[in-house]
Structure 1
Amino acid sequence: MPIMPTLYVLLFVMALSSQINAQTTQKPLRVGVVGLVHSHVGWILNRAKKTGDPTIEVVGIAEPNREVAERYMKQYGLPMSLVYPTVEEMLDKTKPDAVTAFNEISNHINVVKICAPRGIHVMVEKPLAVSIDQAKQMEALAKKHNIHLLTNYETTWYGSNHKAFQMAVKDGAIGPIRRIVVHDGHDGPSRMNKEFVAWLTDPVTNGAGALFDFGCYGANLATWLLKGERPKTVSAFTLQIKPDVYPKVDDDATIVLEYPKTQVVIQASWNWPFSRKDMEVYGETGYVFTLDGTRMRIRLKDDKTEQPFEASKTDAPVADPFDYLAQVVRGETKSVDDLSSLQVNMIVMEILDAARRSAKEGGKPIALK
């Protein structure tokens, strides 16, 4: 073999080996968990066992409810020594780089108030807050103390949504977007853990019912697909189909967003016969439908019929929110205008806040100033 090709191969192997060694020796991101009353918390508690990925290490959990903590620790095979009664004690004892909030939406602001002055980054479960006023306070704290404040949605990690974005926004394969229809929800949360249902069905701790719980997904996706454009008006209509089950909040909501040349319809409900998180994106010359995390239906300008399509999980930028959190904190990626970003989720909060006001006024369009 000639000397030069051999040298190139040797250099390539050395570089690859160096990269692998750097990845394997990189310390895990130290993460604290705030709250165990959101059922999505299993996502992080079971992560190490399920994936074997050492990207993050859960170093502490703040949960004042001992019964809830003991139940979760037993379920996921974790020691009670991880659990602290307050956020402050957990932060002082474990010194995390970031925290993930799985508490009531109304308490997201308190997590930021405690963590931001300490320089600890925060990722909350969707939506960001229960009101635009709280969201603005959280935004101000994040900027003042230079921390990342991210919002996690399950649909952010769907390969199908990123493939739809690639086709509709980056490639322009369906022409200018004219209509987006998003369906999200399930048959209701009443069958879930009692501590989760207690705050989820309370307008103070959740902000609303299905309107906030599932309306936020569509607002998030639409804002992202429309590259951060704010709607001109927001209209919303809510129903209480099961007042005996959900006496304090709506359980069905429709939100209509008006843009200069686009309409978005968000259908959020606790009354679907089956769980669903799907979306229809229509352009001038074609459409892209996402059916779940991977399955899609597409019809472009020259197609005579609709075509099924299977997206890959790798179409999403990373596998899950915790890998993404580690990348953002380490400066390996920037969260500016993506689905998790503060910029996008402040607009989401404007939409939800206006939707709640509109619903109270019988669907009156609320103009965003």
Structure 2
Amino acid sequence: MKTLLITVFCLLSGIQISLAQSPVKIAVVGLTHSHVHWILGREDKGDIEIVGIVEPNEDLARRFTARHGLSMDLVYSDMESLFQEVSPEAVTAFGSIYEHLEVVQACAPRGIHVMVEKPLAVSMEHAFEMQSLAKKHNIHLLTNYETTWYASNHEVKKQVSYDSPIGPLRRVIINDGHEGPMEIGVNQEFLEWLTDPVQNGGGAVIDFGCYGANLMTWLMNGEKPISVTAELKQIKPDIYPEVDDEATILLDYPETQGVIQASWNWPFSRKDMEVYGKTGYFVAKNNTRLVSRTAGEGSESVQTLPARKYPYDDPFSYLAAVVRGTVKVSPGDLSSLENNMVVVEILDAARESAAKGQRVYLK
């Protein structure tokens, strides 16, 4: 009898482990954002399963599914057709930023969690409706940024959060940009909406300015800036006639200044962050390289950090862990709805500031 009970217990435990590790069913809505290759070409870690893809452009769908060895049987022309056939637990949105609202409108009432590609929304009007739907239907609404998974950024946050070796933060400079979407050869479907002031909400100010707003809000523990001042430029109006291609955004806090530099004009791609305190600085050069110097040190210290541990090394592992309840999203997290509502407010204020030629105070 004892042996039988042990056997039954082991079988039940095995079932529980299997259920806990069952992949989260995910649908990909939209293929026009080239960051979609991140999930389509992702190695199978056993934590997610793509159960459907929504893309009305059949030619685009055929190109991308063929590229990643996926079946066209996964593809649906619209979300309603998808939901009639499959029941995803979560959706990742890789269409235009303007379309994020439509995705949440379709998913939230069905209890389907949503992760959108950065930024959360094109405007505060869209963001407020998305927030309301997420709260009403109790879904997770996350925003994904490449820089969220940088070990260097998290080490900086850790260092400046408790007994900071560089003292109080004085100035943060966040640089994100590349040569320009046309110049780096993004696909036509992406280029069409990325350079559309309605579908994207702007040019470089949205595409790259959102990274700085996200990281700055995180470093400031969710605190909003007192004011936002921005200068937007069209250095290449012949290529980008409808949107800015260069943006500088100043964020004013009681004792700290944030400088966001977003560009489609740089000679090389870069995503880095400089954090200056009263007695030293940290520079997150890339995903794993961190440079620092504090008072009393004769030279800079350079560290190469290990990549972040699972599931904090990958947006879709993180999404699966959140859906399964093994990771809890706090309001201060980079992916959180609270952080990204502030991001949209900053971007709205930046566009207003540039249009009016004056500082904009946040409520």
Query: How would you bin the TM-score normalised by the shorter chain?
Result: over 0.9
Taking the aligned partners of 2:278 and 2:84, their CA distance within structure 1 comes to 55
1:198 lines up with 2:186 in the alignment: no
Preserved CA contact (<8 Å) 2:47 2:320: yes
> What is residue 330 of structure 1 aligned with on the other side?
324
Is 1:146 the counterpart of 2:128? The answer is no
- The 8 Å contact of residues 55 and 323 in structure 1, kept in 2 or not, is answered as yes
Counterpart residue number, 1:340? 335
**Could you tell me how far 1:26 is from its partner in structure 2?**
1.8
The answer as to whether partners of 2:149 and 2:308 remain within 8 angstroms in 1 is: no
Cα gap change, 1:315 to 1:263, in 2 (>3 Å):
farther
Alignment partner of 2:352 out of 338, 342, 357: 357
In the alignment, which residue of structure 2 is the partner of 1:130? 122
Unaligned runs of 5+ in 1: 1-13
The correspondence for 1:158, drawn from 141, 150, 156, is 150
Q: How does 1:80-99 map to 2 (within 5 A)?
A: 80-99=72-91
The one-letter amino acid of 1:75's match is: R
Specify the alignment match of 1:4 in structure 2: none
Q: What is the TM-score with the length of structure 1 in the denominator?
A: 0.92
1:118 to 104, 110, 123: 110
1:77 aligns with: 69
Mapping for residues 299-310 of structure 1, pairs under 5 Å: 299-310=293-304
Q: Which residue of 2 aligns with 1:33?
A: 28
What is the match of residue 44 of structure 1?
39
**Identity %, equivalent residues:** 57
The residue number in structure 2 matching 1:225 is: 219
Q: 1:317/1:66 Cα in 2 relative to 1: closer, same or farther (>3 Å)? A: closer
Q: Which ranges in structure 2 are unaligned for 5 or more consecutive residues? A: 1-8
Q: Tell me, yes or no, if structure 1 residue 54 matches structure 2 residue 46.
A: yes
Runs of 4+ in 1 over 6 A off after TM superposition: 18-21
1:321 aligns with 2:315: yes
Query: What CA distance in whole angstroms lies between the structure 2 residues aligned with 1:357 and 1:294?
Result: 35
What displacement does 1:285 show?
Answer: 1.4
The SS at the match of 1:352 is helix
CA shift, 1:24, in A, is 8.6
Give, in whole Å, the separation in 2 of the partners of 1:233 and 1:316. 37
CA distance in structure 1 between the partners assigned to 2:254 and 2:311 by the alignment:
30
**Deviation, structure 1 residue 314:** 2.1
Q: Confirm or deny: 8 A CA contact 2:311 2:317 kept in the other structure.
A: no
Return the letter of the residue paired with 2:269: S
2:179 to 173, 187, 199: 187
Match of 2:161 among 164, 169, 174: 169
Partner of 1:256: 250
Cα distance 1:341–1:232, how it changes in 2: closer, same or farther (>3 A)?
A: same
Secondary structure, counterpart of 1:357 in structure 2: helix
**Aligned counterparts, 1:3-42, within 5 A:** 22=17, 26-42=21-37
Cα distance in 2 between the residues matched to 1:116 and 1:171: 41
Paired position in structure 2 for 1:10: none
Query: What TM-score do you get using the length of structure 2 for normalisation?
Result: 0.93
Q: Which residue is equivalent to 1:11?
A: none
1:244 aligns with 2:209: no
**What one-letter code is carried by the residue in structure 1 that aligns with 2:22?**
K
- Give the distance between the partners of 1:154 and 1:338, measured in 2 at CA: 14
Q: For residue 360 of structure 2, what is the aligned residue in structure 1?
A: 366
Specify whether residues 94 and 171 from structure 1 end up closer, same or farther in structure 2 by C-alpha distance, changes over 3 A only.
farther
Distance 1:194-1:147 versus aligned 2 partners, 3 A rule: same
Contact 1:160 1:315 in 2 (8 A): no
Shift of 1:171: 4.5
Tell me the CA shift for residue 236 of structure 1. 0.4
Distance 1:227 1:189 in 2: 32
Query: SS in structure 2 opposite 1:238?
Result: strand
Residues 175 and 260, structure 2, Cα contact 8 Å, conserved in 1: yes
Equivalents in 2 of 1:137, 1:95: separation in Å? 24
In 2, Cα distance between equivalents of 1:129 and 1:109: 7
Pick one of 273, 282, 288 that aligns with 2:282. Answer: 288
Q: How far did 1:301 drift?
A: 2.7
In 1, Cα distance between equivalents of 2:174 and 2:21: 40
Residues 160 and 312 of structure 1 are in contact (CA less than 8 Å); yes or no, is this contact kept in structure 2? no
Q: CA deviation at 1:169?
A: 1.5
Deviation, structure 1 residue 23: 6.4
Of 245, 251, 268, the residue aligned with 1:274 is: 268
Alignment partner, residue 210 of structure 1: 204
CA RMSD between the two structures: 1.8
| Matched pairs, number | 350
